[in-house]
A and B are shown apart, each in its own frame.
Chain A
C-alpha cells in the first residue's frame, strides 16, 4: 500500500524482519492464487450480477455496505498520510484541509472520466514514478554503509512488536482483493495469475529494498525514532540542478495516490448504489459529485477529530492495519470457498 511503503521501516525496525517480508510475500501469493481462481471463473466477467449469483442480492448489499467502511478507512489513511508527508516536507504551515480539497478535486476529475480511463491511468502513474526507485539504488553502496547494519538476521527474542510488524507487512501487501471489483473491465483474465505474481514479486523486492536501504541509512537503533524514514532518506539525495529534490519526488508520488483514490471513489460510488438498491439505474454525474462531497466532508472530519490529534498512536492507522490484513485474508478466502461450494452444488 502506498502510504505503508513510506512508513514500513518504522514498524519493522529489526533486520531479521527481512525474512518476514519474504515469508509474508510468499503467503500473499496464496491469496493471489485464490483471487486468480475468481478471475478465471464465469462470475468475474459479470461484475455485480456475478456476485449476486454467488451470494444472493441481500448478502451482496450487506457486503457492499460493509465495504463502504473499509474503502473509507483505506482512503482516509492514504490521503491523510500523504498530506501529512506534504505538510512535513513541503508546506509546514499549510492548512491540510485545503490540500485535501485540492487532491480530492483532482481525483474527482480523474474518476469522472470513467472506470476504463481511470484503470488505464495506472500505466501513466507507473511510468511517471518508477524511476524514483532507481534514485535510491545508490544508497546501499554509499561509503557509510556497513554490512553490520543488517545484523542480527536471526531474532534473539520475539515480542508483540514483532507480531505487529508481521501484521503490518501482511496489511501492506493488501490491495489486490479490491481488483475483484474491477474484473469486468479486465480483458485478459486468463493471464491474471501471471500478472499478479509479477506484481507481488515486484512488491516483495520493493519492500525489501526500501527496508534494507533504511537499515543501511539509519541503522536499526535510530530507525524507530524516525516517523517517515524513507522520506528522510530521500531528503539527503543531491542533484546538480536542484537542492531538496525530495520536494519533487513527493509531488511526483501524487500520481499513485490520485490513481488509487480515484479508483476507490468509483468503488465507493458503486458500493453506495448497490446498498441503496440503485445498481440498475443509470449512473449520474450529480450522484457521483455528491458521493465525492460526502467523501470530502467525512475525511475532513476524520482529519480534524482523529488524525490531527493523534500523537503517539494514530487510531485510524491502527484500524487500517487490521482492516487491510482482514480484507486481504478473508476476501480471497470467501471467494475461493464460495466458488468451490458453488462448483460442488
Chain B
C-alpha cells in the first residue's frame, strides 16, 4: 500500500456547495478554479483597457482619452494581463488543479500556504484597479523605469509597487509549493521521468519564480524608497543610476516571459497526445529542453537594453545567449509536430487552439530571434514591432493555450462538455481577430511607429485601423466563450468521467473528482502518454 497524505474532510467547509469557491478552501481543485475564474475576470478588465487603447489609436490624434489617462490605461493593461491573468492562470489555476493528480497526491504539499497565495491576488488586483479612482493609476508603463516613475504622481506609482509586491509574493509562495509537491509528494514508485510533461514545465517555471521574483521585489522596494524617502538609488540627479534598475527589473522580467510560456508548453504537451491519440514524441528531449530554457532564460535579460548604452561585449554576449534559446524551443515545436504526425487527430476546439498556438508562437519566436540580434534590434526596439512580437508570444502563445486547456479540462472541472460549435466560433473569431490586430503592428514598428504613444504620424492610420478592427473581433470572441462556459455548466452534455479517453491520472477518477481526488488509492500511471500501447476503452 502506498502512503497518502491524509486530510480530513472537515478541513474543507461547504464541500459540494458553490460557496466553497468563495471560501478559504484548502482543496487544490477549488483553489485552482478560484485562480482560473479570478484570472478570467481580470482578463476582462485588461481587455477593456486594451479596447480603450485600440479606440484611441483608431485615429492619429490624441482625441479619446487624456494623455495622462492613456498612460494609466497602458500601464494597467500590461500589469493586469501579466500579473493577474496570465501568470496566475497558467501557473496557479492549472498548476494547482493538475499537479497533485499528476504526482499521485491528495493535495498540494502546503494546502494552507496555497490558499494564502491565492487570497493575496484579489485584494492586490482590486487595489491596483482602485488606484484609477484615488488620484490616478501609475503612468510609467508596466516596466516603471526611473526617473519617469519617480516623477509621475507618487500615489499611483506606490499602489502599483505595493500591488505588484503582493502578486510577486503570491507567486513565490505558489512556486515553493509546486517545487515541494513535485519533488516530495510523488506517489511511491513514480519516477521523475514518468511524470506528465506539465510537471516538468511547472518545476522549471517554479525554479525561475523562486530565483528571480525576489530580485523584482527588492528592486521595487528600492524604487518605493526612492519615491517616499528620496534615497536616490535610481535617481541620477542625486547620484543614483537609472540603468541598474533596468538590469534588476529585467533579471526578473525576462524570466517572467518563461514563467508565462513554459507552463503553456507543458499544457500543450498534455493536450496534443490525447486528441491526436499518439504518445508525446521525444519525452526525454522535451524534459532537457525545459531545463535548458530555464537556464538560458536566466542569462538573457540585457537583450531588453541594447539601446541603453550597454557596452559592445555585453550586447554580444546577450545576443548569443538569447539566440540559443531557439534551439531547445525549436526541439519542442518539432516534437509537437511529430506527435501530431501519423495520429488520429480529433479536430475539436482544444486542438484548434493548440495548433494555432504553434502557428502564432513560431512567428513570435522568429521575430524573437531577429530581435535578439543587436543590429536588428537597434532600429525596432521600443516600437510596435516589439509590441507585435510579445503579443504573438504571450497572447498568441499562452492565452491560446489557456483557452485550449479550458476546452480540454472543462469536462473534468464540471462533469459537462462545452458546446463544440460555439467553441469553434470562439476559435475563429479569436484567431482572425488576433492576427488582424497584431500582424500589421510588425509593419508599423519597422516603418516608424514607437510604442506607448497616443498619437502618431497620419501615414500609419490605415494599419492602425485594421489593428483596431482586429481588437474588436477579439473582444467579440469572448461572447461565445462566456455563453458557452456559463450555459454548459448547467445544460452541457454530461461528460462522463473520461470523455477524451485520456491516460493521465486526473482522468482516472470521477468528473468532477472527489475531495481527495480518488475514491481508492492513487493509480500508478507509468505511461501517461501510452496511446497505442495501453488499452483505452472507447
Q: Are A and B physically bound partners? A: no
Residues of A within 8 A of B (CB): none
